[in-house]
Homo-oligomer: A and B are copies of this chain.
Amino acid sequence: MDDAQRVAAGYRPLSEADLPRYLAGLPGMADRLGGPPAGWTVREVGDGNLNLVFIVKGPAGGVAVKQALPYVRLVGESWPLPLSRAHYEQMALAEQARLVPGRTPAIRHYDERLALIVMELLEPHVIMRRGMIAGTRYPAFAAEIADFMARTLYFTSDLALTAAAKKDRVGAFAGNHALCKITEDLIFTDPYRVAANNRWTSPELDDIAAAFREDLDLHVAVSRLKLKFLSAAEAMLHGDLHTGSIMVTEAETRVIDPEFAFYGPMGFDIGAVIANLLLNYLSQPGHETEPGGRRAYQRWVLDTVGEVWSRFRDDFLALWRANPTGDAYPPDLFQGMAGAARLEEERQAFMDRLWRDTVGFAAAKMIRRILGLAHNLDLESIPDRRLKAAAETAALGMARTMMVETERFPSVDAILARAEAAGASVRA
């Protein structure tokens, strides 16, 4: 019996009308919402691709309710997807909350039978992608997302865990392969071949899309990244860490929706954040209401890219120095002052390797959002078709170089310089 079947018995998708009675039956929930259930408002707001999401509010407070559907919502019942993803999501949420308190929505209730999670309602947070399209700065973001990634990746890796504890966790997430398969297909494969799911701005991008389907250097590069995604069990990943999985206020960052969580290569999460910031950066000329009106915001976005990586690097290194509790790089082998210096040198080399992975994965995430199935609202919502195509073309050119000639980006500054050049071409 696989995971999908395990949760199928007794499952039914809830409707807005079902929610008050369901929630009233959960311990403490009536107190949390306040007043009689008849007075609670329920709104289905799922604008993601996979699930039902309800916002329920009462006089005393509110909750968010996320329920998995047995298929991909965006596509329909023709694309089945196991309900077990709710199990992995609540497992990841619990682990993230333990490692980075307060950075994820608190779980109020998990119902395995219904593949449903009742969560803290995040208010007045907005989806970061929407805020960035509107040109809103989030001063807390870089430090908080860097801290989130550093803690979740470091403390679930062989640098912090014993091998036994880590292998247990790898095993615990191994069943989430249907969600991984979406990534494997949509990010690492489809954009590089003829696939029914692909779409792009046509005819403007027809030539570059065709060129990417024939570009064998790119195909080798993306295949190496895919192999790493398939086989490098480095840390527990969020697995879908784009700006649509981040909710923000100017003062606070929250990370949601870790249903793609599994043990994979660390660079995939970091690359996801950086890719989505870069795409937003390149989309900004398309959102200007007056010429150059978003130049200053673009500067903030690029500064944020630099800050995310440099803070992540610093945070991760600090965690490693302070918590060498894992089975990798045993302290016994690096004793004394010379040992400490050599280990520090190796830590820096480790971060350099992780940076290269990050650049490659970021490139893959940029390309899939322009040539694959799921696009970014940052680019999709650009009203001027010429500007949209120009931004997408610039992003694809930059991403190809990042993936095939990764060594040209030894530091995040090289990425920022390349982004500025790409950004200038959008305005040209």
Q: Is the CB of B192 within 8 A of A333?
A: yes
Stretch at the interface among A9-17, A90-98, A165-173, A269-277: A165-173
Question: Is A338 an interface position by the 8 A CB rule?
Answer: yes
Query: Interface of chain A, helix or strand or loop or mixed?
Result: helix
Q: Is the CB of A346 within 8 A of B223?
A: yes
Q: How far is the CA of A328 from the CA of B226 in the complex (A)?
A: 7
Question: Is A219 an interface position by the 8 A CB rule?
Answer: yes
Q: Is the CB of A181 within 8 A of B163?
A: yes
Residues of A132-191 whose CB lies within 8 A of B: 157-158, 163-164, 166-168, 170-171, 174-175, 177-178, 180-181, 184, 189
Stretch at the interface among A47-55, A231-239, A312-320: A231-239
**Contact mask for chain A residues 36-79; partner B; CB cutoff 8 A; 1 contact, 0 none:** 00000000000000000000000000000000000000000000
Q: Chain B residues near A28 (CB, 8 Å)? A: none
Q: Which residue of B lies closest to A221 (CB)?
A: B346
Query: A107 to nearest B CB, angstroms?
Result: 24
Q: Is the CB of B175 within 8 A of A167?
A: yes
Q: Is the CB of A167 within 8 A of B174?
A: yes
**Contact mask for chain A residues 328-349; partner B; CB cutoff 8 A; 1 contact, 0 none:** 1110111000110010001000
Question: Is A227 an interface position by the 8 A CB rule?
Answer: yes
Q: Is the CB of B170 within 8 A of A233?
A: yes
Question: Is A424 an interface position by the 8 A CB rule?
Answer: no
Q: Is the CB of A227 within 8 A of B332?
A: no
Give the size category of A's interface with B.
Answer: 35 or more
Q: How far is the CA of A154 from the CA of B123 in the complex (A)?
A: 51
Q: How far is the CA of A157 from the CA of B230 in the complex (A)?
A: 10
Q: Is the CB of A170 within 8 A of B164?
A: no
**Contact mask for chain A residues 190-214; partner B; CB cutoff 8 A; 1 contact, 0 none:** 0011000000000000000000000
Which of B163, B219, B231 touches A177 (beta carbons < 8 Å)? B163
Q: Is the CB of A219 within 8 A of B171?
A: no
Which of B170, B181, B184, B328 touches A227 (beta carbons < 8 Å)? B328
Q: Which residue of B lies closest to A330 (CB)?
A: B189
Q: Chain B residues near A346 (CB, 8 Å)? A: 220, 223
Q: Chain B residues near A252 (CB, 8 Å)? A: none
Q: How far is the CA of A163 from the CA of B174 in the complex (A)?
A: 10
Question: Is A216 an interface position by the 8 A CB rule?
Answer: yes
Residues of A213-264 whose CB lies within 8 A of B: 216, 219-220, 222-223, 226-227, 230-234
Question: Is A327 an interface position by the 8 A CB rule?
Answer: yes
Query: A336 to nearest B CB, angstroms?
Result: 9
Q: Is the CB of B171 within 8 A of A174?
A: yes
Q: How far is the CA of A180 from the CA of B327 in the complex (A)?
A: 12
> With contacts A168-B174, A223-B346 known, what are 4 further pairs, Cβ within 8 A?
A158-B227, A222-B333, A227-B328, A231-B233
